[in-house]
Amino acid sequence: MRQLLLIATLAFAAEAAAVPSDSEIHRIIEERVQTIAGPEGGMGIVVGVLDEKGPRVVAYGDTGAAERRPLTGDSVFEIGSVTKVFTALLLVDMVRSRDLRLTDPVAKYLPKGTKLPERNGRSFTLLDLATHTSGLPFMPDNLPALESQDASYSKADLYRFIAAQTLQRDIGSEWDYSNLDYWLLQEAIATRGRADFEQLLQKRVIAPLGLQSTAITLPPQLEARVAIGHDAVMQPTAPLASRPCSFVFRADSRITSSASTHSRVRLYSTAPMSVVFAPGLAWPLKPASVP
C-alpha cells in the first residue's frame, strides 16, 4: 500500500492574502491524496490554519495502518527542520534572561580544548550559528546513512569532522543552510543552561507555550498518536529518533508535534512560503536584522 503522511501549518498575518475557506482547503487536500494514493488510499494530509478567525485544522485521509485510523489535528508528526524554530526560540529566551549574548563566541560554551575552524582571525558566534552564516557544511560527510544501524558514530567523531573543516568564506558573510550550525548551538545552549538540551527546551519554550503535543522524547500518550512517516517513494520509514546517529539532529529535526498545536502558535521563518513548503526537510531560516 502506498502511504504518505504530511503535516503543514499555515500562519497568516492580517495583511497577507486571504486564506482559502476550510471547504476549499479540504477539496485541495482530498484531490491531492486521491491523485497520489489512488484507490489504495493509505495517505493523509493535515493542515493547520491560523488567521484572524482563530486556529483550526482541516484533515483528510488516514494513517495507512491496519486499523485505518483517520488523521486529525491531534495526530502527531515528526516536524523535521521546523525544530530549528524552537531551538532559536530557546536561544532568544536565554538572551533575554541574560544567560548569554548572541555575540558570545561558541567556544566559550563548549568543552575545554574544543577546536573549531576560524577564518581571518574570526571565530563562530552564537548568532553565526543561529543564522546559518558560519560557513560550515550542511551535514558531516562521514556520517553513516540514516538507514544504517551503525551505532559507532559518536559526538567525538562529529567534533573531529568540524575541527577539520577549512572555511571557504568569511564567517558571517553569507547564508548557507547547515544542520551542523544547530548541533553546535544545541551543545552551547545545554552547557550554559547546565542541563540537557531537551530539558531546557521543555522548561523554557514548550511548557510556557502550552504545547502539550510537542516533544522530542515522546511519552506514551503521544506515542499512541504518532503518524507513520514515509519516504519520497512512499515507503514507511522508522522515526528519526530510532536511528543510531539521531543525536546529530536533536536540535534541528527531532521534535514531534501536531497540527492542532501549531495552528495555535505563529512559527515564522523569513523564507518565502513557496520555499518553506518545498519537498524535503531543509526549510531555510535566513538571518534577519538583529538590533
Mean pLDDT score across all residues of the chain: 76
- 5-17 tens-digit pLDDT: 444 444 444 345 5
Q: What is the pLDDT of residue 154?
A: 81
* Cell representation of residue 231: 519516504
Residue-range domain boundaries for the chain = 4-82+210-276, 84-202
* CB neighbour list of residue 72: distance below 8 Å, 6 or more residues apart: 46, 57, 59, 260
Q: Which CATH architecture has domain 84-202?
A: 3-Layer(aba) Sandwich (3.40)
Distances from the Cα of 232 to the Cαs of 170, 237, 268, in angstroms?
35, 10, 26
pLDDT in tens, 230-261: 666 666 666 666 665 666 565 445 566 776 66
Mean pLDDT of 92-112: 94
287 vs 179: CA distance, rounded Å? 15
- The residue type found at 261 is T
User: Alpha-carbon distance 234 to 237, whole Å?
Assistant: 9
Q: Tell me: domain 4-82+210-276, CATH 3.40.710.10, correct?
A: yes
Q: Which cell numbers hold the place of 124?
A: 563562530
212 or 159: which carries more pLDDT confidence? 159
Neighbour count for residue 168 (Cβ, 10 Å): 10
Mean predicted confidence (pLDDT) in 25-36 = 86
Give the ranges where 48-178 is alpha helix by DSSP (H).
83-96, 126-130, 155-163
Q: What is the pTM of this model?
A: 0.77
What is the mean predicted confidence (pLDDT) over 53-62? 84
Domains 4-82+210-276 and 84-202 share a fold: yes
